[in-house]
Amino acid sequence: MNSPLLLVGGGGHCIATLDVLESAGISIAGIIHGPDQPLEYICGYPPLGYDDNIPALRGKYNLALITVGQIKTPTIRKRLYTLLKKNNYDLATVISPCSTISQRTKVGEGTIIMHNVCINRNVTIGDNSIINTGSIVEHGCQIGNHCHISIGSVLCGNVSIGDGAFIGAGSVCREGIHIGENAVIGCGLRILFDIPPHKTIKSNVLSPLT
Amino acid sequence: MNSPLLLVGGGGHCIATLDVLESAGISIAGIIHGPDQPLEYICGYPPLGYDDNIPALRGKYNLALITVGQIKTPTIRKRLYTLLKKNNYDLATVISPCSTISQRTKVGEGTIIMHNVCINRNVTIGDNSIINTGSIVEHGCQIGNHCHISIGSVLCGNVSIGDGAFIGAGSVCREGIHIGENAVIGCGLRILFDIPPHKTIKSNVLSPLT
Amino acid sequence: MNSPLLLVGGGGHCIATLDVLESAGISIAGIIHGPDQPLEYICGYPPLGYDDNIPALRGKYNLALITVGQIKTPTIRKRLYTLLKKNNYDLATVISPCSTISQRTKVGEGTIIMHNVCINRNVTIGDNSIINTGSIVEHGCQIGNHCHISIGSVLCGNVSIGDGAFIGAGSVCREGIHIGENAVIGCGLRILFDIPPHKTIKSNVLSPLT
């Protein structure tokens, strides 16, 4: 049986996540803070120490969720994921009850679907990803591990997103394109063609990148 | 009394539509496939042949919905609409239960409102149109027949959209403007002025077109 | 005990607001019209005169809502707000039941949250503001008085919006930026940096304004 959920990361994304967890009626143990944070209560939830408490807390809790935000790089979330798995934590899969998710969607462990998201049929989402508030993921999309699909972004049908990629708030990806692993798409952009891996995009992509 | 629904078109838009139909509890007979498709089951629904089976199937079914997607041109959807009407089919009007639709909205036959759409008061939508996932249609908009309002697009108040027009994903049309019939608006654009009929728009429209 | 709601303003925004009020089951007395409008019924609700009837109607009604739209300038809505307060009206706070609002959101008097809005945790919204259809307001945002966050716009986490500011339809404001008081952001823009007070923005802001 699952213990209350251990949250790893106490910044802005944690606060937004708390709202989703409370909506979904999920019991929360407390929060592991980042290295520069004071050990304070956040929204009423107790601090449970820093990252180096993660191994010891496994004796008490078996279920965790990474609540560090991911802006541009997935490095910290990937490191925490490895640390949690090494210590035999299960990672929660969380879906806001205020979202519209096709029953034919596969969502990996440690991934959270925030409020007002719509995910259509035959979508696959990997582990430890964030599908953020109000984003739209159309039929047939494939989203990798450690991705962040930011708020209000729009993925048309059959878009594929490589591991570790970031899609900025309010950006639109055209039907069928591929965003390479660890690519970073800025906010409010039109992406009409494939993006190579590790590429950072700061303006609209209207023709193929070579 | 209505028979189970006959779907005409078996591509990506059909798959997304199936999710809406199942959410709405609508009984589905099977799928008429496009000319290049193999006659395979789609999401568990049987193939019922190609377009030339439409007349014969009228003996068994009386209710149909066109589930061919519409990217840029409404030609195929218009042709199928004519074929179905000639064979005395009724066309279903489908509204996702995961959408917010004013009771003062008129929606024509053969039109589908997908998930997470919001349609405000005093809106009129014609026949055989697609109002796609997460789009916003504000008060007083007029949308014609055979239109496709693509995912995540935003129509401000009193926008009018001519027959056969296509509004790309994530595009925004300013209050009160008119998009001419069969115009094509690309994805992620800002349309601040009227667009003439049959015009294809690939960049932002910030001043009147002459 | 509250009387039926007096609406002040009978244009397009009033029509959209009526849909929200009816969804929320709020009793409506009728509509005070703008100076150039005929005194006609709107959507079945009776005209109750012009602005100069506001003092006399206080004998009959104690609760009002300003339903004049706000495009670019808050001047009219601010004037009506002052007039209503001077005459000891209470201003209604209205939240569409078709929206997702964190219980940790503070919403001021006279402010309306329209359909399909999502407001995350720790957001504060002032008085007499419009949070329009389908907009997203992320965790920690601060929105002032007499603001209009237009339809489908996206405010990332910890954005602050000064009194009287207007955010155009479908615009995106990056995490943590500040929009100055009475600033006007056009529709469909990417705002990546702070905007000074009283500034009108018609193109994307991709670097700091000096």
Span A48-88, pLDDT tens digits: 999 999 999 999 999 999 999 887 789 999 999 999 999 99
From chain C, the residues in CB contact with A43 under 8 A are: 104, 121-122
> According to the annotation, is B148 in a ligand binding site?
yes
Query: What is residue C8's three-state secondary structure?
Result: strand
A201 touches chain C (CB under 8 A): no
Q: How far away is chain A from the Cα of B90, in angstroms, using its nearest Cα?
A: 26
Query: What is residue C77's three-state secondary structure?
Result: helix
| Residues A203 and A185 sit within 8 Å (Cβ to Cβ) | no
Q: Write the CA distances from C139 to A45, B23, C47, C104, C122, integer angstroms.
A: 17, 31, 40, 10, 6
Residue B130: what are its φ and ψ, rounded to 5°?
-120, 120
**DSSP result, A148-164:** EE-TT-EE-TT-EE-TT
Give the tens place of pLDDT for each residue, C81-132.
Answer: 999 999 999 999 999 999 999 999 999 999 999 999 999 999 999 999 999 9
Q: How far is CA C152 from the centre of its chain?
A: 14
**How does the average pLDDT of chain B come out, rounded?**
96
Q: Residue C1 — pLDDT band, cuts 50, 70, 90? A: low
Q: How many CA atoms lie within 13 A of B68 on its CB side?
A: 26
Domains belonging to chain A, first-starting first, are: 5-91 (3.40.50.20), 93-203 (2.160.10.10)
Strand partners, C7: C31, C65
A190 touches chain B (CB under 8 A): yes
Q: Report the distance separating Cα A127 and Cα C71, nearest Å.
A: 43
**How does the average pLDDT of chain A come out, rounded?**
96
Q: How far is CA A161 from the centre of its chain?
A: 13
Query: What pLDDT is recorded for position C210?
Result: 76
Give the chain C residue nearest B192 (alpha carbons): C187
| Residues B204 and B187 sit within 8 Å (Cβ to Cβ) | no
Query: What pLDDT is recorded for position A172?
Result: 98
> Please, which residues have CB within 8 angstroms of residue B195's CB and are 6 or more apart in sequence?
B177, B178, B179, B180, B183, B185, B201, B205, B209
A154 touches chain B (CB under 8 A): yes
Give the chain B residue nearest C153 (alpha carbons): B154
Q: Is the pLDDT of residue C189 over 60?
A: yes
A120 touches chain B (CB under 8 A): yes
- Of the partner residues B120, B134, B170, the one whose CB lies closest to the CB of residue C16: B120
SS (H, E, C) B48-88: CCCHHHHHHHCCCCCEEEECCCCCCCCHHHHHHHHHHHHCC
| Residues A112 and A17 sit within 8 Å (Cβ to Cβ) | yes
From chain A, the residues in CB contact with B186 under 8 A are: 190, 192
| Residues A191 and B168 sit within 8 Å (Cβ to Cβ) | no
Give the tens place of pLDDT for each residue, A123-158.
Answer: 999 999 999 999 999 999 999 999 999 999 999 999
Residue C148: what are its φ and ψ, rounded to 5°?
-130, 110
CB contact under 8 A, A133 and C122: no
- The two structure tokens encoding residue B132: 């796609």
Closest CA to B155 of C100, C188, C154, A151: C188
Q: Residue B80 — pLDDT band, cuts 50, 70, 90? A: very high
C17 touches chain B (CB under 8 A): no
B131 touches chain A (CB under 8 A): no
| Residues C164 and C181 sit within 8 Å (Cβ to Cβ) | yes
Q: How far away is chain C from the Cα of B189, in angstroms, using its nearest Cα?
A: 8
- The two structure tokens encoding residue C124: 């504060």
CB contact under 8 A, C138 and A115: no
| CA-based end-to-end distance of chain C | 51
From chain C, the residues in CB contact with B190 under 8 A are: 170, 186-189
**How does the average pLDDT of chain C come out, rounded?**
96
SS (H, E, C) chain B: CCCCEEEECCCHHHHHHHHHHHHCCCCEEEEECCCCCCCCCECCECECCCHHHHHHHCCCCCEEEECCCCCCCCHHHHHHHHHHHHCCCEECCEECCCCEECCCEEECCCCEECCCCEECCCEEECCCCEECCCCEECCCCEECCCCEECCCCEECCCCEECCCCEECCCCEECCCCEECCCCEECCCCEECCCECCCCEECCCECCCCC
Q: Report the distance separating Cα C66 and Cα A58, nearest Å.
A: 55
Q: Write the CA distances from C152 to A138, A168, B29, B114, C194, integer angstroms.
A: 18, 16, 37, 17, 20
Q: Is the pLDDT of residue B70 over 90?
A: no
From chain A, the residues in CB contact with B202 under 8 A are: 206
Give the chain A residue nearest C98 (alpha carbons): A98
Give the chain C residue nearest B103 (alpha carbons): C19
Q: What average pLDDT does the segment A18-47 reach?
A: 95
Q: How far is CA B113 from the centre of its chain?
A: 7
Lowest mean pLDDT among A1-5, A173-177, C73-77: A1-5
Q: How far away is chain A from the Cα of B74, in angstroms, using its nearest Cα?
A: 17
User: How does DSSP classify residue A194?
Assistant: -
Interface contacts (A, C; CB < 8 Å): 75
**What percent of chain A has pLDDT above 90?**
94
Q: How far away is chain A from the Cα of B56, in angstroms, using its nearest Cα?
A: 31
C112 touches chain B (CB under 8 A): no
Q: How far away is chain A from the Cα of B103, in angstroms, using its nearest Cα?
A: 21
> According to the annotation, is A198 in a ligand binding site?
no
Query: What pLDDT is recorded for position A1?
Result: 56
Query: What pLDDT is recorded for position C61?
Result: 96
Chains that touch C (3 or more CB pairs under 8 A): A, B
CB contact under 8 A, C19 and B118: no
- Of the partner residues C120, C121, C156, the one whose CB lies closest to the CB of residue A169: C156
Query: What pLDDT is recorded for position B170?
Result: 98
Strand partners, A167: A149, A185
C97 touches chain B (CB under 8 A): no
Tokens 């009206």 identify what position? C89
A154 touches chain C (CB under 8 A): no
**What percent of chain C has pLDDT above 70?**
100
